[in-house]
Chains A and B, each alone.
Chain A
């Protein structure tokens, strides 16, 4: 009897524990509402934001959400042309002064009216935040001023050609200083912007809920609630769209995207982004400090096949270190075509007739790494693949521990000034020059371009830089970055900007 009682009590206790610990049914997102009455859109993403303060981080997970909750002074359209946003007009007064006329009908999510002072406050805070200081530190806040409530003049500490590009990025989003200071460490639970969506709740590791802001100055969303679910596994994300568990899934992998294109139950949107991927070298280490070795390796690698196989035929091959769509992009053509005999001859000329042993540091990219290993074996180079996690990959590249590596380069500002500065010899390692490449002639070109404000002259200088980088075989270019989004077929007006933003408030239903 005693044992039965003990067993019964134990079972009751366990059942109570389970019921108490399990999440409530009501918190389950439901994507099954009929299209014409849909008031909630559920989006599955592979990364969640690190923060809801746009100046505290510029990773893609954060930027995706902050561009929904905040506005910038100007914005890009689909064709990467500037459009008015919080600023209705802007002019370049001189090389270090810009004037913006602001909208008068904007309110923050907490009801505060948006004025020119908020712009100054924003860039004062941004200039001190670790994630934004280097990008926005060019603004001389002491010399900047508000002219009335709806005009602001931003002064720069030096001429900076891509300044307007930077103003359109999510890192330049306008914030409410009072809200940030009052909330302190709890700002992530109380973010305040002027954007089309306001914050409702965030269960980290699970989902974030946003609500359409009814006092938004611009085009209001066609639905009331936006739920962003974190689903890290790509296959699960894809299945959730197919089964109707979510309305949209981001970051679909290439082989799933290829299958979805033939699936009438979903719509697939593939867009190029401002990113390229490549194989590169540590040019400060032997034998990669020898240009002929790098050129020989470039001859030995069939980049087109690697791109085609690793992306299932979906991605475009890239021919420069920066993506098309970046101001200053130039295609120098293929300098060292795939030719194993030429590769062997060049390697012999460089003093390595029997090849050599080396390592290839990668984070992911398993298929590409193995193909490179096989291709270089043909010319006598034995490659050991070191597949490491992101932290160790980054540590290796920043500290020059790598020999060869597969990397990617994104130019969020869409301007070659930021894309090519990484090749300057002053920027080895943490500055962005992960290849530790040194070429003083290239340094001179980049320095001239950095202080040049005339667009045509800048384009010519960046063309020279890209030609030189191509001739020196610093990179073996692989692909232009691409992202795939899959939606339910009743959804339209969704497109992915080259900056990877998705203006979800423009989404509509068929």
Chain B
């Protein structure tokens, strides 16, 4: 398993380098001038030219790329924001914990709602509960998150005065943003759990377990769920990764200083160092999430961890021959 993990970590390097190069190239090739955007429409061309020279933006493409990579590798310096001149690393690091906690809470809520309702829907297919949950999930998937967020603010903040309308300063601030994101994620998890469970409970070994007189709860929990959970873990991993970089609408409505909002604002103002640093950071985080999910597969499904070990055994065997 350790070898597998190390191999995966090494494989991240070309992925990360590739992402950096592609993003750098795309940003250089877009037609808008980032300094013109930073200084605003009232700035003169002399002011724009002065700042471009100051920031080394008139250097050739490969010179700029080389300097960028060199600074990262030798000094861990991802550059400074064109907008506020703050180091990119401090901008990202200051916002990441907020986004991480928002994403984590949302996924946990989504799993707490989605997995049990998916299981019950599958075991009571076509029942009132199943139809109700299916309807709920379709509505949740179709409903824009910003609309749901605004409705929650109007109901719980403005009308009922129960919860604060914006910010992320404590537990009472977390409730509405987490519900907003979690509802949409729950729908996806519910649908995946339901379809995966339906496939599994039709298998022969489930019939065998029931024929042996096993309690239904144990049949579902021990025999069915373990086999059905793999696709659900995959979906949860993907959703978690997406929320880490993409909860921008929710962050805007609830005024949460998160990473998604930082990246979208940087893209709108063409704050290139922040975009590059943010995308690179997200690529690394997403790679780690994928690795974590793959390792989790190994813990959940012994066949997969055996496969990881068998690969190692095959290699050792081949070396001995």
Contact = CB atoms under 8 A, between A and B. Distances in A.
Contact of A395 (B31, B154, B254, B299): B31
Contacts of A110: none
Interface string B34-51: 101111111111111011
B169 A23 contact: yes
B243 to A, nearest CB: 14
B157 interface: yes
Contacts of B173: 28
Interface string B80-114: 10011111000100110110110011001000000
B295 interface: no
Contacts of A489: none
Given A58-B40, A233-B255, A391 B161 contact: no
A240 B83 contact: no
Contact of A232 (B40, B84, B105, B255): B255
Interface in A163-211: 185, 188, 203-206
A133 B255 contact: no
Contact of B158 (A24, A188, A242, A395): A242
Interface stretch (B133-141, B202-210, B262-270, B281-289): B262-270
Contacts of B168: 22-23
A131 interface: yes
B50 A395 contact: no
A233 B253 contact: yes
Given A21-B100, A130-B51, A134-B44, A245 B38 contact: no
Given A58-B42, A134-B47, A204-B257, A50 B83 contact: yes
A230 B164 contact: no
B158 A243 contact: yes
Contacts of A205: 94-95, 257-258, 261-262
B32 A392 contact: yes
B78 interface: no
Contacts, number: 165
A18 B104 contact: yes
B42 A432 contact: yes
Given A23-B170, A205-B261, A431-B45, A390 B269 contact: yes
A431 B33 CA distance: 15
A397 interface: yes
B158 A17 contact: no
A25 interface: yes
A389 interface: yes
A22 B165 contact: no
Given A22-B101, A23-B169, A25-B169, A397 B41 contact: yes
B148 to A, nearest CB: 13
A176 to B, nearest CB: 18
Contacts of A14: 104, 108
A430 B40 contact: no
A412 to B, nearest CB: 8
A6 B300 CA distance: 11
Contacts of A412: 42
B97 A21 contact: yes
B153 interface: yes
A27 B167 CA distance: 11
A18 B262 CA distance: 21
Given A18-B104, A233-B252, A391-B269, A240 B166 contact: yes
Interface residues of B, number: 64
Interface string A54-80: 001111000000000000000000000
A12 interface: no
B167 A22 contact: no
A239 B269 CA distance: 28
Residue of B39, B95, B108, B252 ringed by the most chain A CB atoms within 10 A: B39
Interface string A419-453: 00000000001111000000000000000000000
A21 to B, nearest CB: 4
B160 to A, nearest CB: 10
A25 B100 CA distance: 18
A394 B169 contact: no
B98 A21 contact: yes
Contacts of B269: 390-391
B80 to A, nearest CB: 7
A23 B104 contact: no
Contact of B32 (A56, A231, A395): A395
Contacts of B101: 17-18, 21-22
Given A17-B104, A130-B50, A204-B84, A391 B97 contact: no
A206 B98 CA distance: 11
B255 A130 contact: no
A391 B38 CA distance: 9
Contacts of B262: 205
A235 interface: yes
Contacts of A235: 150, 153, 253
Contacts of B321: none
Contact of A131 (B47, B91, B95): B47
A185 B79 CA distance: 12
25 contacts: A14-B108, A17-B100, A18-B105, A21-B98, A29-B167, A49-B84, A51-B84, A51-B85, A130-B39, A131-B47, A188-B86, A235-B253, A236-B253, A239-B165, A245-B164, A391-B32, A391-B34, A391-B268, A395-B33, A398-B33, A398-B41, A430-B43, A430-B45, A431-B44, A432-B42
Given A14-B104, A131-B43, A134-B46, 6 more contacts: A6-B299, A22-B170, A57-B40, A235-B153, A236-B153, A431-B44
Interface of B: 31-34, 36-48, 50-51, 54, 80, 83-87, 91, 94-95, 97-98, 100-101, 104-105, 108, 150, 153-154, 157-158, 161, 164-171, 173-174, 252-255, 257-258, 261-262, 268-270, 299
- The 9 lowest CB-CB distance pairs between A and B, nearest first, are A205-B257, A28-B169, A21-B101, A21-B97, A206-B257, A130-B51, A430-B45, A231-B255, A395-B32
